[in-house]
Structures are given as structure tokens and as C-alpha cells.
Structure 1
Amino acid sequence: MPLLPQQIAPVDERQAALTDGCLSGHTGALMDYFLALRAETDAALAPRLGAAAGKPYPYGRCAEINSDLFTRLARRVKEPATDVDRTLRDFVSQGGIVRTVWGVLRGQYFQNAIQFGGLYVDVSNDTVVLTKPKVEILPIAESGLVPVRDLAHFRATAESYWGAAIYANHLVPSLAPLLPMISASPGRLRPGMQSACDYMIALMCLDGFRQAEDWLRDGPAPPAEIASAVLASVPPDLRARTADGRAESLEACRWARASGCDRDQGWRDVRVKEYLRTVRA
């Protein structure tokens, strides 16, 4: 089965051998390399990213940091100028896996990182506990990062990490198959739909929106004050058309499954654009 976006790739014998042969003897140089890249990223992001959950940069900015640094890394590997650039280019040219990954770290919080074959490189290690080192490099097997298994796993992590209450998305039925949850984290995150990351969207498609439908059927509706806060940024044409948003959301899942939308990239792209309209509003 193809990997989901940002899912950890299995470390088979080839990846283990490439990691040992190309990277494992250079851990110190790799640490210096990623710390230098992180300094470039901080210089670019810190002036323009405000506080998250009332805490200053880099708190809560693991996605932005990981994405920016990965872009810088790709440019460096494409046009290598240093020994470490060339080491990483050689690793990639021999078939070494380099990909961004996302999941639940050590049962505590969501985290973004970069996988290099059998290595886990967390370039935003200080975005939850600000006193931790900025970069952590470990074998994947020792990292404690695991994929989100299902909606229950996501909800449990969001509740403990964000202090979130999670409700069913009966407010925006057309997006409910992909974004079936509403989260509210007083003093931390604004109420909104979850989760608009590539991994979770692909996970909802994986079973034809069945677990999304189950949650929309059984999960609690958001209370009035949370619903009002979410709908304040939702254009009128995306809101539930009737007073029974639960029924509309359930029907959206059934229609999407029957129509093969779980395999339709165009349909998914339209829904993501609709979601972005709610963010920009």
C-alpha cells in the first residue's frame, strides 16, 4: 500500500545499509549542519511569525520551521557546496529516502520532522519545550514518532497536547468527510476544523470516509459559542443549508464514498480550496 503523505517510510535492509554507509559516521557534522540551517530558518521566520498560544517563536511553529528548513535543504542538496551537502546528495543518489514526516511523538504531542533513511532528524525540537536543544538526531526506531492511527488517536493527542475539546463538524457539511472534527482550545488555538494536514486528509480518504462518518454520527455537536466562533470565518455558501447539520454532514460522507471521491484528487483539491476560504476569511 502506498505511503500516506508524511508517513514514516519503513526502514528496510537497503535503507538501513545506506544510512549506516553514508550517514551514521557523520552524526556530529550533521548536527552542526542542521543547526546552521535552523539558524537561517529562525532568521527568516522569527521576525514575521507572531506568538502562538501566547508564547513567542519558536513555540508551536514546528510545521513552519520544518517546511522552511526542508526547502533550504533541498536547494543545498541540489547544488552541493559543502562536504555535508555532498554526503546527503550521495545518500539520495543511491536511493536513500529523504522525506518530511509527521505524527505523534512519544505519546505526548504532534510533531514534524525529517526522515533520512533510518535516521530521525527533528529540526524543531524546541517548539514545545523551549529549553530543549533545537535539533535532535536519533535512529527512527528510537525516536518515539508514530503515525496517527485513527481519529480516536488524533482526538486523544489533541486533548492532551492542546487541552482541546473535540466536537463533530456539523457546521460545514461539504468539508466534513475530510475535516470531520471541530476543536476548541481556550487560550491556545482558535476554534476550527481539524485536521487540514495532508496526512489526516489522506487518512480520511483511506476507508472511504467511514471513520469520519462514524464520528459525525456519534460525536457531540459543538456548543453554540464554539459554533458561532467557527462560523464567523465560514462563507455563507459553505454553511449547513438546514437546521440539521448532522444529517447533511453524514449525507456528504455517503455521497462522497458512493461517488468515488476518496480516489479523486480533483475533488480533494476543491475541498482544500474551500477550507482555505474559511482560513482567509
Structure 2
Amino acid sequence: MTPPLLPQEIAPVTARQVALTDRFLSFRTDRLMRYFLTLRAETDAALAPRLPKAAGQPYPYGRCEEINNHLFARLAERVARPANAMDRAIRDFVAAGGMVRTVWGVLRGRYFQNALQFGGLYVDVSNDTVVVTKPKVEILPIAGSGLVPVRDLAHFRETAALYWGATVYANHLAPSLAPLLPMVSASPGRLLPAFQSACDYMIALMGRDGFQEAEAWLRDGPAPPAEVADALLASLPDDLRPQADGRAEAVAACRLARAEGRAMDNAWRDARVRDYLRAMRARAAA
């Protein structure tokens, strides 16, 4: 039996989705490109003035998630109240059963990337957020896009090393968060140390096997070095810190979460995410 799709997982392209994509969208590729370039320009006007530099580089570098989510929200509003031919074409595609979803994964073996899936089409509206000279929008068949789901923690770590220049450690610093966020990344000179990965896909992936992969990494993975640990612990709320042995407490948190069936407990998941956001706010205020 095929497991259900994870949030933002690339959906299989069925024969029906291919037919709907061909019927409503594929023959309009040039107009689709102009449509999304217009939406992207509007997103840039909204986001560029208020987003700070990422890894020391100005917008749009590193802002694929923000761009993708902002544009997708506005697209939903437009489709609900169509004002032009492309709004109506996308509305009709969805009404006929066409799939539209945000997706996230590893792009061409090297980058984490957010994009949109329209049936059989991959629409990357933040194509210039790694190499800023690339076209802002890319539209391709899903099969030729090079976007694949993150398979496991090893795949995530490999990509983080290539994309961010990151070394990844086990999260022994916030044990209660460790079942969902079992990693700590450090990218000296680029990105601040961070708990990984607070995206919907990775959080759901950790729960799919009852936190067993997270537990194995927390048990066997390297502890963060002192400078990384100090950077994260400096502002971490007291109730999220380890009481004594962070490794043992993180492993125990995975076992308890599995025993209590927390993988399917949305309220528990949301509480852990709120704890993570509280930690991030405390860090920003420090």
C-alpha cells in the first residue's frame, strides 16, 4: 500500500493529471511564463523592501520559501476571483480535478528548493534565489525538473553540506524538540547555527517511522562542538534545555513520543513547533 503523501511532497503524475495538464495548461506555456513573471514582480515589490540579507547576500538570495509561499497565497486569491484568462484557466484546471500544491525537495542533487506543482508541470517561481543571474521563473515537466523528495536524514545532511557548506550534528541541546528536529547545522561564515529542519515535509518525515531514524541519529550522531552549542544555548528558554545528559534525554524523547503515538498527534506536533518558534523569537531578541 502506498503511504500517503507528506506535506509538500512531489505527487506522482498520473495519466489523469497529464491529461488535465495538457488540456488546460501545457499549450499555454508562454502565457503561463508571462503570468508567473508578473506575479513574481509583484511579490518582489512586496518582499524585497522588508526582508534582510540572507547569508550576507541581498534579496532574492536564499528566499525561495518566502517567495514561493507569498506568490502561492496570492495565486489562490486570484483563482478564487479570476480577473484574466490565465486566472480562469487555472481555476478551470483545479475545478476539473487538476492538482496544485507547493512542493519542496532536493533540486538536481545540490539545492533545497521550494516550487509549485500543477499536475504534470513544475513551476519554480524562485529560480534565481541561489544563482541570482538565472531567470526568475522556470517551467518544466515534473519528470524533467530534477526535483526529488528528501529520502532520509543522510540525504538532508549531504544536501546541507553542498548547499550551505554545513556540518550537521545531533540535537542534544533541545531534547523535547529532538524527535521532530533531530539535527543542528552550522555553516561558519554563512548561516547561524540552527535546529533542522523546521519545514513541514521534514517534520512529517521524522514521524513516518515513529521517530526511529531521528532516534538513531541522536544516539550515534556527533554532538555539537562547544562554539555551536553555546550559540544556540545562549538564548534557549530554560524549559527547552537539557537537564543533565542531552544525548540521553533526546533519545528518550523519541522513545516516549513513539510509545505515546505522537507521530499522528497534531496537537503535540503543533506544541513542539510553537516551542521552536519561541526559541527563535528569544534568539532574535537577544
Calculate the TM-score normalised by the size of structure 1. Answer: 0.99
Give, as a single letter, the amino acid of the residue that structure 2 aligns with 1:127. Answer: T
Q: How does 1:147-186 map to 2 (within 5 A)?
A: 147-186=149-188
Which residue in the other structure is 1:27 paired with?
29
In structure 2, list runs of 5 or more residues that go unmatched: none
Which residue in the other structure is 1:16 paired with?
18
Distance, in Å, in 2 between the alignment partners of 1:58 and 1:263 is 36
**Counterpart pick for 1:53 among 55, 62, 73:** 55
Distance, in Å, in 2 between the alignment partners of 1:263 and 1:142 is 34
Distance, in Å, in 2 between the alignment partners of 1:78 and 1:125 is 26
Distance, in Å, in 1 between the alignment partners of 2:26 and 2:195 is 41
Which residue in the other structure is 1:216 paired with?
218
Which residue in the other structure is 1:189 paired with?
191
Offset at 1:232?
1.7
Distance, in Å, in 1 between the alignment partners of 2:200 and 2:236 is 21
Distance, in Å, in 2 between the alignment partners of 1:148 and 1:219 is 19
Q: How does 1:242-257 map to 2 (within 5 A)?
A: 242=244, 244-257=245-258
Distance, in Å, in 1 between the alignment partners of 2:203 and 2:55 is 24
Runs of 4+ displaced beyond 6 Å: none
Give, as a single letter, the amino acid of the residue that structure 2 aligns with 1:61. Answer: R
Distance, in Å, in 2 between the alignment partners of 1:211 and 1:180 is 9
Give, as a single letter, the amino acid of the residue that structure 2 aligns with 1:240. Answer: P
Which residue in the other structure is 2:121 paired with?
119
Distance, in Å, in 1 between the alignment partners of 2:78 and 2:257 is 42
Which residue in the other structure is 2:270 paired with?
269
Residues 26-52 of structure 1 deviation map (CA, whole Å, 9 limit, x = unaligned): 000000000000000000000000111
Distance, in Å, in 1 between the alignment partners of 2:202 and 2:189 is 24
Offset at 1:2?
1.4
Distance, in Å, in 1 between the alignment partners of 2:270 and 2:190 is 29
Which residue in the other structure is 1:75 paired with?
77
Offset at 1:255?
0.4
Offset at 1:233?
2.6
Give, as a single letter, the amino acid of the residue that structure 2 aligns with 1:100. Answer: T
Distance, in Å, in 1 between the alignment partners of 2:36 and 2:207 is 35
Offset at 1:189?
1.1
Distance, in Å, in 2 between the alignment partners of 1:93 and 1:58 is 33
In structure 1, list runs of 5 or more residues that go unmatched: none
Which residue in the other structure is 1:95 paired with?
97
* Identity, % of aligned positions: 74
Calculate the TM-score normalised by the size of structure 2. Answer: 0.97
Offset at 1:105?
0.1
3-state SS, counterpart of residue 256 of structure 2: helix
Matched length: 280
Distance, in Å, in 1 between the alignment partners of 2:68 and 2:265 is 28
Residues 103-129 of structure 1 deviation map (CA, whole Å, 9 limit, x = unaligned): 000001000000000000000000000
Residues 70-118 of structure 1 deviation map (CA, whole Å, 9 limit, x = unaligned): 0110011000000000000000000000000000000010000000000
Give, as a single letter, the amino acid of the residue that structure 1 aligns with 2:62. Answer: G
Give, as a single letter, the amino acid of the residue that structure 2 aligns with 1:70. Answer: F
3-state SS, counterpart of residue 25 of structure 2: helix
Distance, in Å, in 2 between the alignment partners of 1:83 and 1:211 is 47
Residues 221-240 of structure 1 deviation map (CA, whole Å, 9 limit, x = unaligned): 00111000011231011100
RMSD: 0.5
Q: Determine if the alignment matches structure 1 residue 109 to structure 2 residue 140.
A: no
Give, as a single letter, the amino acid of the residue that structure 2 aligns with 1:141. Answer: A
